[in-house]
Structure 1
Amino acid sequence: MSTIPLVSIICLCYNHERFLTEALNSVLAQTYPNIEVVVVDDASTDGSADIIQTYLEANPQIRFISTEYNRGNCTAFNMGWRASNGDYLIDFATDDVLLPDRVEKQITAFTQLDQSYGVIYTDAAYINDNSEPIGFHYKRDRKGRLLSFAPSGYIFKELLQQYIICPPTMMVRRQVLETLKGYDESLAYEDFDFWIRSSKLYQYFYLDQVTTKRRVHASSLSKSWYGKGNRLLASTIKVCEKAARLVQTAEEKRALVQRLKYEARHAYLTDNFEEAKALLLLLKKEARLPLSYIFLLLLSKYKLSFSFARRFYYRIRYGT
């Protein structure tokens, strides 16, 4: 029997035919010797199933789960981790790529931390559809020293306030998922909710290494985050409501208020008027509304669009 921890990599596939071979090869190339691979196909409609079958035939140790019909990331992952046995888990989308020593580095870090640490996250390299490098998640100086904010410890307030972590870089202690009972399957995406709930109970550790290549392409969830009528924003509102119930200190409340202001502005400026109204009403419960946000609430009620202002800003700043 192995004396080193078992790591389960839950490989989530939905129409990743173009990237699947590179992704699965990166999992099988890990230098860490004690890995369980669980592939979950969320009813792909492209050629993903055929590619997965070739891997199952060549690698009988891979476990395979089909969701039978498209259920979304949260449910697909829950099916995978509940069928797994690992002491630690990685939620791995099969359009991303693991660097060969990813698991080894994170397990080495975990062995130096006590049980209060539930999550280790790292830096990531961003790649495009053609696997070409386009940057990194965190900013660094010319000597490679970290410039961005990447905290360790009990970081509920920080995770509530702003986007910090690149989700596919996380390795999670199994106990965290068991405590939380997995992802909330009523949500359209998982990371914000997972961060909020887990960081109240467990410490996070930032490992200053690049361990993962995250693919940025047209079908990425983040590309359509504020698309009009998108389910993602509705899920954000639910998570903010959960966070409001978890807030205990004045600092945490300020972080929540900052998040609500940010989400409300973006919801309104993308013509998601009902979502903007819901966020502003939640903000009103937590703090006295500044005059500008009272005005924003009025505009949301009457569905007066200023989305052109956001488009103009992005065109000036990013040329898009």
Structure 2
Amino acid sequence: MMDDSKDIPLITIGITCYNAQDSIGRAIKSAFAQDWGNLEVLVVDDCSSDGSVDAVRELITGHGNARLVVHEVNAGPAGARQTILREAKGNFIAFFDDDDESLPERLKTQYQRIVSYEAESGVDLVACYASGRRLYPNGYEMFMAAIGSGGRGPIGSELADYQLFYGKKPGVFYGGGTPTCSLMARKEVFAAAGGFDPSLRRVEDVDFAIALGLKGGHFIGCPEVLFIQYASEGGDKSPEKNMEAEVALAEKYADYLRSVGRYEYARRWPLVRYYHFKGQHAEMIKVLGALFLKAPVKTARHFFTTGPRRLLHEFKMKREKRG
């Protein structure tokens, strides 16, 4: 770790924890190993039913810069992140997931990227994302390029359009989207966007980014691999819950979507994904057909850009582990 210094800002590492007794250790250890001399580690346990709380307490014992907050009622990822925003003492907040491992240089790299971009652009609503690698049980590894790390990142409504209806602007690098597990920003940036919406049990990370985009936010990224994600599946990742959350997101931004003529498209596209994941291909084709009749170019571009890539990704995920 770099030498402690009053000349560098305090950064809060926020870690949400839910039934992660077997993985929370690598997240917390990677937080303590950061090459940054002025940080606090804030863990919020979201009413775990396993041994997570005891595991966290043991891990942070002896670290004066670490705190644990325990929810008595499960609030979901957004609710837990809201607690982090409320309790954080840092000028900057970086989010780590409870089953990820961040490399020691992550905070320093993202901090330098933010302040450099602020100085060059003169803007103050900046969200910075890290690139990472996702590891699957069969040995498959996927590189996740951070948004804005391979070219200009989206600005303002460019981000909202991309997240809500895959409205991509030429010359803009959208990378792997806006996962909160790779996000760092000034505390004021989170406040400006309204934080995280506790009513959303999924896609709260997308919602935050859309809200920030509609406030004029800039989205930047670091090309370096700064975290490792270990892929897992759970009930909260079911096709049903994903679809419900994505439709709820379209409803939340219905006024904006209507203003750009994309409300019906944004509301119905989640059904395409849902029927694909459920294996109900006839129903998927029906929805695609209806979308194609109303927006033929948009639908075709969206489907043929994302479809083959998705199928290849699924093949690699399901492939048997080699030797």
What range describes the TM-score normalised by the shorter chain of this pair? 0.7 to 0.9
**Is contact 1:150–1:206 with CA below 8 Å preserved after alignment?**
no
Aligned counterpart in structure 2 of residue 120 of structure 1, from 113, 128, 141:
128
1:211 correspondence with 2:226:
yes
Q: What amino acid is the match of 2:112? A: T
Q: In structure 2, what is the Cα distance between the partners aligned to 1:100 and 1:16?
A: 21
Aligned counterpart in structure 2 of residue 184 of structure 1, from 187, 197, 201: 197
1:160 corresponds in structure 2 to: 164
CA shift digits 1:214-242 (9 cap, x unpaired): 22113385xx341x4x2x43222221123
Per the normalisation by structure 1, the TM-score is 0.74
Distance 1:290 1:109, change over 3 A: closer
Distance 1:6 1:219, change over 3 A: same
Query: Which residue identity does 2:57 align to in structure 1?
Result: Q
Cα 1:248–1:89, aligned 2, differ >3 Å: closer, same or farther? farther
Name the Cα RMSD after superposition. 3.5
Q: 1:204: how far off?
A: 0.9
CA distance in 1, matches of 2:67, 2:291: 52
In structure 2, the partner of 1:318 is 315
> How far does residue 15 in structure 1 lie from its aligned partner after superposition?
1.0
Which blocks of at least 5 consecutive residues in structure 1 are unaligned? 140-145, 294-309
Aligned pair count reads: 276
Distance 2:137 2:72 in 1: 27
1:41–1:67 CA contact under 8 A, matched in 2: yes
State how far apart, in whole Å, the 1-side matches of 2:294 and 2:279 are: 18
Note the 1:1-320 alignment, pairs <5 A.
2-112=6-116, 113=118, 114-128=122-136, 134-138=141-145, 151-154=153-156, 155-162=159-166, 164-189=177-202, 190-201=204-215, 202-219=217-234, 221=236, 224-226=237-239, 228=240, 230=241, 232-247=242-257, 250=260, 253=261, 259-269=266-276, 290-291=292-293, 318=315, 320=318
Q: Percent identity?
A: 23
Q: Secondary structure at the match of 2:247?
A: helix
Residue 191 of structure 1 deviates from its aligned partner by 1.0
Deviation track 1:183-220 (CA, whole Å, cap 9, x = no partner) reads 11111121121111111121111222211112211338
Distance apart, 1:258 and its partner CA: 5.2
AA at the equivalent of 2:134: Y
One-letter identity of the residue aligned with 2:207: D
Whole-angstrom distance in 1 between the partners of 2:45 and 2:294: 46
- One-letter amino acid of the counterpart of residue 208, structure 1: P
In structure 2, distance between residues paired with 1:124 and 1:194: 20
Q: Quote the residue 1:305 is aligned against.
A: none
Shift of 1:261: 4.3
Q: Give the drift of 1:118.
A: 2.0
2-structure distance, mates of 1:264, 1:108: 41
Distance 2:179 2:245 in 1: 19
Output the CA distance in 1 between the equivalents of 2:314 and 2:199. Answer: 36
- 3-state DSSP class of the match of 2:61? helix
Using structure 2 for the length normalisation, give the TM-score. Answer: 0.73
Quote the Cα distance in structure 1 between the aligned partners of 2:15 and 2:64.
15
Gaps of 5+ in 2: 167-175, 296-306, 319-323
Q: How far apart, CA to CA, are the structure 2 residues paired with 1:109 and 1:209?
A: 11
Match of 1:303 in 2: none
